[in-house]
């Protein structure tokens, strides 16, 4: 079904609340998590959903972001029947101007949408950190015969006034919508993720373009559809999600990547099952646990170290559990040292499992070698 849907990512925001970070770069190009950029998340989500055609709408300080997105190769969107297309404000016979709002940005690119000829259009923000696929949301949109489906997320009440707020009935039909209310009537926040039936979207964008308005989805398009009693449905997202529009929220989102006992999240659990693609598509950043000890060692990307590593070379995608000890050793990709394991003067082969409390100890120049590939089945 996802191949019937195209995605359009709104990535032109100035991001003034991120201060100097966005003085010369668009907000979606800001770095996150040691190796990612914010735009990696919606683009990876689209790729993981099987969406083949994605338009990235850029505007403010777009050069770096345009270059980064390129032809979509990083996310596998450069195939014969797939594409990532950068859509910047155009110069026409009437002149040139910036997008007047989120809805106007889509309206100005209706010609691109027409060439795609989709059944459904997915509208995304380019400045949120989350990992998901959009397939289940699309299934709900189709099954409920909705004109528009909005992804929602319960937020803290004190944060609710920063978002578009929805009220739904027992069938998830949207009964009320408030755009950034001073006194919110709900804490169910719009994530800025919309699925529209294509023809309905076109009608409302064309009507909005002729009116005096903010040309904004939250302020105009959604309220207009509500006023016309269009079928509007909410889809509740339950995973990790952060709006990183401020310095404090960007810092908090980075801190969330570290072990957090209260939330039970870290880099490897937050985005489990969905690969986040970037300039280096192969590994997540290495993670060093709170009780880990590292001395005189090389730790590659994707390694998770919770135990002790001394004078060793640790490859990517490995895991050294709490209580394990690795001394004067080489640990190859995919290997796992379980709790209490001791590896000394040794080479541990790819995908090899060193079991709990197992001891591998080479003597002097007689380096031990263990290869069993059991970790590949964990």
As to burial, measured by CB atoms within 10 angstroms (0-12 exposed, 13-18 middle, 19+ buried), residue 287 is buried
Taken in order of first residue, the domains within the chain and their CATH numbers are: 2-255 (3.90.550.10), 286-377 (2.160.10.10)
Q: Considering only 103-112, 325-334, 358-367, which range has the smallest mean pLDDT?
A: 358-367
Tens of pLDDT, residue by residue over 201-251, are 999 999 999 989 999 999 999 999 999 999 999 999 988 898 888 888 888
What mean pLDDT do residues 155-177 have?
92
Give the rounded distance of the alpha carbon of 313 from its chain centre. 31
As to burial, measured by CB atoms within 10 angstroms (0-12 exposed, 13-18 middle, 19+ buried), residue 127 is buried
As to burial, measured by CB atoms within 10 angstroms (0-12 exposed, 13-18 middle, 19+ buried), residue 183 is exposed
Q: Which residue, 365, 364, 361, 363, is CA-closest to 348?
A: 361
Spatial separation of the C-alpha atoms in residues 254 and 244, rounded to whole Å: 10
Q: Residue 122 pLDDT > 90, yes or no?
A: yes
Q: Residue 95 pLDDT > 60, yes or no?
A: no
Report the DSSP beta bridge partners of residue 294.
309
DSSP letter at 237 equals -
| 77: CB partners within 8 A, 6+ apart | 43, 46, 47, 52, 53, 54, 71, 83, 84
Tens of pLDDT, residue by residue over 21-43, are 888 888 898 888 878 899 999 99
> What is the 3 state secondary structure string of 191-232?
EEEEEEEHHHHHHHHHHHHCCCCCCCHHHHHHHHHHHCCCCE
CA torsion sign for 200, 202, 206, 208 is: positive
Share of the chain above pLDDT 90, in %: 62
Q: Considering only 92-101, 130-139, 317-326, 350-359, which range has the smallest mean pLDDT?
A: 92-101
What's residue 285's pLDDT?
83
Pairing of strands 325-331, 293-295: unpaired
Tens of pLDDT, residue by residue over 253-307, are 888 887 554 454 556 666 666 788 888 766 678 889 999 999 999 999 889 999 9
What mean pLDDT do residues 171-176 have?
95
What mean pLDDT do residues 134-141 have?
97
- Show the CA angle centred on residue 29, arms to residues 263 and 220, nearest 5°: 80
Average pLDDT over all residues of the chain: 89
What's residue 286's pLDDT?
87
Q: Residue 90 pLDDT > 90, yes or no?
A: no
Spatial separation of the C-alpha atoms in residues 333 and 81, rounded to whole Å: 34
As to burial, measured by CB atoms within 10 angstroms (0-12 exposed, 13-18 middle, 19+ buried), residue 233 is buried
């Amino acid at each position: 079904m996802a191949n019937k849907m195209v995605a359009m990512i709104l990535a032109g925001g100035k991001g003034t609340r991120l201060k100097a970070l966005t003085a010369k770069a668009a907000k979606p190009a800001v770095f996150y998590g040691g190796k990612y950029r914010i735009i990696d998340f919606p683009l990876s989500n689209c790729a993981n959903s099987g969406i083949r055609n994605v338009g990235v709408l850029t505007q403010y300080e777009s050069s770096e972001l345009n270059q980064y997105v390129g032809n979509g190769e990083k996310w596998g969107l450069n195939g014969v029947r797939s594409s990532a297309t950068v859509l910047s404000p155009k110069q026409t016979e009437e002149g040139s101007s910036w997008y007047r709002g989120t809805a106007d940005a889509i309206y100005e690119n209706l010609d691109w949408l027409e060439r795609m000829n989709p059944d459904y259009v997915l509208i995304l923000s380019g400045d949120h950190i989350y990992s998901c696929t959009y397939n289940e949301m699309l299934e709900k949109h189709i099954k409920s015969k909705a004109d528009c489906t909005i992804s929602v997320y319960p937020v803290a009440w004190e944060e609710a006034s920063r978002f578009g707020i929805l009220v739904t009935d027992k069938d998830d039909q949207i009964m009320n919508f408030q755009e950034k209310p001073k006194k919110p009537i709900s804490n169910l926040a719009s994530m800025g993720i919309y699925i529209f039936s294509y023809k309905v979207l076109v009608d409302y964008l064309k009507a909005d373009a002729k009116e005096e308005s903010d040309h904004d989805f939250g302020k105009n398009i959604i309220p207009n559809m509500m006023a016309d009693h269009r079928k509007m449905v909410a889809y509740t997202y339950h995973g990790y999600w952060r709006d990183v529009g401020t310095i404090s929220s960007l810092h908090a989102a980075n801190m969330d990547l570290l072990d957090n006992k209260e939330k039970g999240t870290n880099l490897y659990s937050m985005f489990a099952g969905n690969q986040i693609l970037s300039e280096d598509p192969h590994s997540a950043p290495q993670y060093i646990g709170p009780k880990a000890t590292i001395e005189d060692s090389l730790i590659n990307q994707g390694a998770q170290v919770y135990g002790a590593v001394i004078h060793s070379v640790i490859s990517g995608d490995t895991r050294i559990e709490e209580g394990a000890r690795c001394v004067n050793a080489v640990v190859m990709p995919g290997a796992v040292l379980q709790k209490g394991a001791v590896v000394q003067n040794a080479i541990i082969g790819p995908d090899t499992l060193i079991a709990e409390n197992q001891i591998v100890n080479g003597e002097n120049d007689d380096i031990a070698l263990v290869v069993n590939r059991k970790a590949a089945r964990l």
